[in-house]
Homo-oligomer: A and B are copies of this chain.
Amino acid sequence: VNLFWALDRMDGALASASASDGRALLERLLYEARSIDEEDRAMCRAIGRHGAGLVRPGQGILTHCNAGGLATAEYGTALAVAFAAHELGTPLRVFADETRPLLQGARLTAWELQRRGIPVTLICDNMAAQVMKEGKIQLVVVGADRIASNGDTANKIGTYGVALLAKAHSIPFYVAAPSSTFDLSIADGSAIPIEQRDPREITHGFGRQTAPDGIDVYNPAFDVTPAELIAGIITEKGIIQPVNRGTIKQVFGMK
């Protein structure tokens, strides 16, 4: 959602430009893009600042997919919480789900954390329950693609399962996302259509065929985690907690 929000804003900048020559228009767009980048950095830092308060020394934080600086500007959303806590000197370890089929957790999240010197352990998605059972996880923080007005949250496939596993182990499950991720026009998660992706992502994911020819594949891009499984939503404005229609309306100043 917030990618389209940014594109709309660039569109608006272009429409409102008084200049007519190409170079001036380009300058205007560049100015707008840089503003978005700066605001995004500030926003991610604010999310990190709010979220860092949730992390106690020595805790393990599980995350799924990638919601770091590669997906936003510099600091990320879910990873901002770990980045900020780390900068404050809080010792912690992040467990990164590899996140099949495209392995954003292995390829991006693990890399970003390693690069910043934050202890990170890579696991396969199906190991999350065991890692929780062993007491290695005290907090789950994930990003969001889109959040409905009641708090139901669409995010990378597997997020909903992680939320259920967290609940089973009494581990708080948080979503970290800028307020531009809220889609207040939709009542709840049931209004979010779930895109199906290319079966070859699963059967031919890494330059090698790993399933029989002609096999039927189900490859939903994301899932929806119901608001009642979410302990709080960490935004740049603060943490929305508990997550429900009322608390969300309040944050957005709606009646």
Contact with B along A202-232 (1 / 0, CB 8 A): 1101111011101111111001000000000
Which residues on B sit within 8 Å (CB–CB) of A245? none
A128 within 8 A of B: yes
Q: Does B165 lie within 8 Å of A161, measured CB to CB?
A: yes
Shortest distance between the CB of A241 and any CB in chain B (Å): 22
Q: Which residue of B lies closest to A216 (CB)?
A: B121
Q: Mark each residue of chain A from 106 to 125: 1 if its CB lies under 8 Å from any CB of chain B, else 0.
A: 11001100100001111111
- CB-CB contacts below 8 Å: A163-193 with B: 164-165, 167-168
| A98→B97 CA distance, assembly (Å) | 16
Question: Given A125-B126, A126-B97, A216-B122, does the pair A106, B211 have CB atoms closer than 8 Å?
Answer: yes
Interchain CB contact under 8 A, A114 and B210: no
Q: Report yes or no: A211 in contact with B158, Cβ–Cβ below 8 A.
A: no
Q: Identify the A interface with B (CB < 8 A).
A: 64, 95, 97-101, 103, 106-107, 110-111, 114, 119-131, 133, 157-158, 160-162, 164-165, 167-168, 194, 202-203, 205-208, 210-212, 214-220, 223
Q: How many copies does the complex hold?
A: 2
Find out whether the CB atom of B157 lies under 8 angstroms from the CB atom of A127. Answer: yes
Determine which of B95, B130, B161, B220 lies in contact with A160 in the assembled complex, contact meaning CB atoms within 8 Å. B130
- Say yes or no: A212 contacts B164, CB within 8 Å: no
Q: Is the CB of A202 within 8 A of B122?
A: yes
Taking CB atoms, residues of chain B closer than 8 Å to A95 are 218
Assess whether B130 is in contact with A161, with CB atoms less than 8 Å apart. yes
CB distance from A112 to the nearest CB of B (A): 9
- The answer to whether A217 and B100 touch across the interface, beta carbons within 8 angstroms, is no
Q: What residues of B have a CB within 8 angstroms of the CB of A129 in the complex?
A: 158, 160-161, 164, 223
Which residues from chain B contact A114 at a C-beta distance below 8 Å? 212, 214-215
Residue in B111, B123, B211, B219 whose beta carbon sits within 8 Å of that of A110 in the complex: B211
Interface centre among A95, A129, A223 (most CB of B within 10 A): A129
* B215 contacts A120, C-beta separation under 8 Å: yes
Chain B residues closer than 8 Å to A123, beta-carbon distance: 202, 217-219
Chain B residues with CB under 8 A of A107: 210-211
A210 touches B164 (CB 8 A): no
Closest to A217 in B: B122
What is the chain B residue whose CB lies nearest that of A225? B129
New A-B contacts (8) at CB < 8 Å, excluding given A114-B215, A130-B223, A164-B165: A99-B126, A119-B216, A121-B218, A124-B125, A125-B126, A133-B160, A165-B165, A208-B208
